[in-house]
Amino acid sequence: GDSVTQMEGPVTLSEEAFLTINCTYTATGYPSLFWYVQYPGEGLQLLLKATKADDKGSNKGFEATYRKETTSFHLEKGSVQVSDSAVYFCALRSNSGGSNYKLTFGKGTLLTVNP
Amino acid sequence: SQTIHQWPATLVQPVGSPLSLECTVEGTSNPNLYWYRQAAGRGLQLLFYSVGIGQISSEVPQNLSASRPQDRQFILSSKKLLLSDSGFYLCAWRVQGGYEQYFGPGTRLTVT
């Protein structure tokens, strides 16, 4: 079945540091890929997405590139801020068969950014 | 624009008591609706999804149930809560055939 593996962290960085959160996936066919962010006590917000190979999703300074050859969708940001402290989830949506109704999530990565 | 509401925001219930959590979506018609649980940490578990009124699919067998009495209303219920039901419950919606899901603010349930 489909699965998503992401570094569990926690990740602790200083403000303005470079961020990478690794995400790899297993899926049949060509899934769509997502990053969601969850701030403390809140629901999940879609951060960015990519629907086909080599697409780059970007939002709020975050970027992720859909790499089919390495089945990866790593999240990056060049300079993090304290306000980026949150839990980040990588997810995929299968585009094949009867599984395209649901998202498969990784376990989440807690990011803490210190001033 | 579309919005999704969940209530209550927090709930403390004793073991063995019933449960009813409600989710409503505004600004869209015939959405796919989802209930997730996030327990003791950060992972998300899909509990139920619905593609239309009265159509419920369960992903994980447990003492919870879901109903969709109206197009944009999704209810999560239990007749008798267990300690293990504690967690953060998230409702989500998706346009039929769309890519991404949009999440509500969540309900924090503590079973004592």
Mean pLDDT calculated for residue range B49-73: 91
Contacts of A87 in chain B (CB under 8 A): 42
What pLDDT digit, counting tens, does each position of A20-42 carry? 999 999 998 889 999 999 998 88
pLDDT at A98 over 90: no
State whether residue B34 sits within 8 Å of chain A by CB.
yes
- For residue B40, what pLDDT is reported? 66
Q: What is the mean pLDDT of residues B35-46?
A: 82
Tell me how far CA of residue B89 lies from CA of A41, A44, B35, B36, in angstroms: 11, 11, 7, 6
Distance of CA A55 to the CA centre of its chain: 14
Residues of B in contact with A93 (CB under 8 A): 99-100
Least confident of A48-62, A64-78, B91-105: B91-105
- pLDDT at residue B100, as a whole number: 86
Distances (CA, A) of B20 to B26, B72, B111: 20, 16, 13
> At CB < 8 Å, which residues of chain A contact B?
32, 34, 36, 38, 41-46, 49, 51, 87, 89, 93, 101-103, 105, 107-108, 110
Query: What is the mean pLDDT of the segment spanning B6-35?
Result: 95
> Least CB-CB distance to B100: which of A34, A87, A108?
A34
pLDDT of B106? 94
Query: What's CA B9's distance to the chain center, in Å?
Result: 12
Is the predicted pLDDT of residue B80 greater than 90, yes or no? Answer: yes
Rounded average pLDDT over A88-95: 90
Q: What is the mean pLDDT of residues A85-91?
A: 95
| Phi, psi angles (nearest 5°) of residue A58 | -150, 150
pLDDT score, position B4 = 95
Residue A107 contacts residue B42 (beta carbons within 8 Å): yes
CA distances from A4 to A16, A90, B43 (A): 28, 7, 11
- The whole-angstrom separation of Cα A96 and Cα A101 is 10
- Contact assignment for B105 to A43 by CB distance below 8 Å: yes
Band (A96; pLDDT cuts 50, 70, 90): low
Shortest distance between the Cα of A32 and any Cα of chain B, in A, equals 7
Q: Is B83 left (phi over 0), alpha (psi -120 to 50) or beta?
A: alpha
Token readout for A17 is 């540091």
